[in-house]
């Protein structure tokens, strides 16, 4: 049976660092499931820095949309992050409504966590930082908030990161 730990918080709150330490506390060889797409040189450099920081003991899987296709049975999996994954879904399905994209996201996430694994999932609380300045930003913030609520409802544990300090929520 799978276990699910959601780690959430604002930008640069320490989520990924805490998630990595948590994964390494469980397994010497965890899986890092990266959902980012490389869209410019600056982001590529950022990704390379993160890979170097993690070290060779991590199994890296780069999977921007169909996260359930990764075979992670029996492993400790750090999925980083839901926000980038939802961004990919959002822009791949621009023709769909937010409700339809949310349904797709829930279905894909459910397929992933059906695998017998321990999941540590990082997400962002983007709605805490203010109101979106345009329609697309507001729609995405809604999508993100609803998906965060869904994952939190399924999670065995939820941690909110505030200024590098983990606060147990659930």
pLDDT tens readout for residues 109-164: 999 999 999 999 999 998 776 676 788 888 999 999 999 999 999 999 999 999 99
Q: What percent of the chain has pLDDT over 90?
A: 75
Mean pLDDT of 1-20: 92
Output 46 or 93, whichever has higher pLDDT.
93
pLDDT band with cut points at 50, 70 and 90 for residue 3:
very high
Mean pLDDT of 71-76: 97
Which pLDDT score, from 0 to 100, does residue 1 have? 66
CB of 52 closer than 8 Å to CB of 155: no
Per annotation, catalytic residue among 5, 50, 93, 131: 50
Is residue 5 part of the annotated active site? The answer reads: no
CA angle 161, 14, 144 (to 5 degrees): 65
The whole-angstrom separation of Cα 24 and Cα 60 is 14
Mean pLDDT of 12-40: 92
Please, what is the angle between helix 135-154 and helix 82-92, to 10°? 130
Output 40 or 92, whichever has higher pLDDT.
92
Task: Write the DSSP assignment of 3-16 as a string of letters.
Answer: EEEEEEESTTSSHH
| Coil, helix or strand at residue 132 | coil
Q: Taking Cα atoms as reference points, which of 60, 64, 43 lies closest to residue 51?
A: 60
Q: Where do we find the tokens 């730990």?
A: 5
The whole-angstrom separation of Cα 134 and Cα 40 is 23
Q: What is the mean pLDDT of the chain?
A: 92
Per-residue pLDDT tens digits for 36-51: 877 778 877 877 777 7
Q: Is pLDDT above 90 for 104?
A: yes
| Coil, helix or strand at residue 139 | helix
CB of 2 closer than 8 Å to CB of 116: yes
């Amino acid at each position: 049976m799978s276990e699910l730990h959601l780690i959430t918080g604002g930008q640069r709150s320490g989520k990924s660092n805490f998630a990595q330490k948590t994964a390494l506390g469980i397994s010497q060889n965890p899986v890092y499931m990266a959902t980012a797409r490389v869209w410019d040189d600056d982001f590529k450099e950022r990704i390379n820095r993160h890979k170097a920081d993690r070290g060779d003991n991590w199994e890296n899987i780069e999977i921007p949309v169909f996260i359930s296709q990764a075979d992670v049975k029996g492993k400790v999996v750090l999925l980083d992050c839901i926000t980038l994954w939802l961004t990919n879904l959002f822009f791949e399905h621009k023709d769909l409504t937010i409700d339809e994209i949310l349904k797709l996201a829930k279905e894909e996430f459910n397929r992933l966590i059906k695998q017998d694994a321990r999941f540590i999932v990082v997400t962002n609380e983007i709605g805490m930082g203010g109101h979106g300045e345009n329609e697309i930003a507001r729609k995405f913030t809604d999508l993100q908030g609803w998906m965060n609520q869904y994952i939190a409802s399924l999670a065995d544990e939820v941690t909110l990161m505030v200024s590098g300090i983990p606060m147990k929520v659930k």
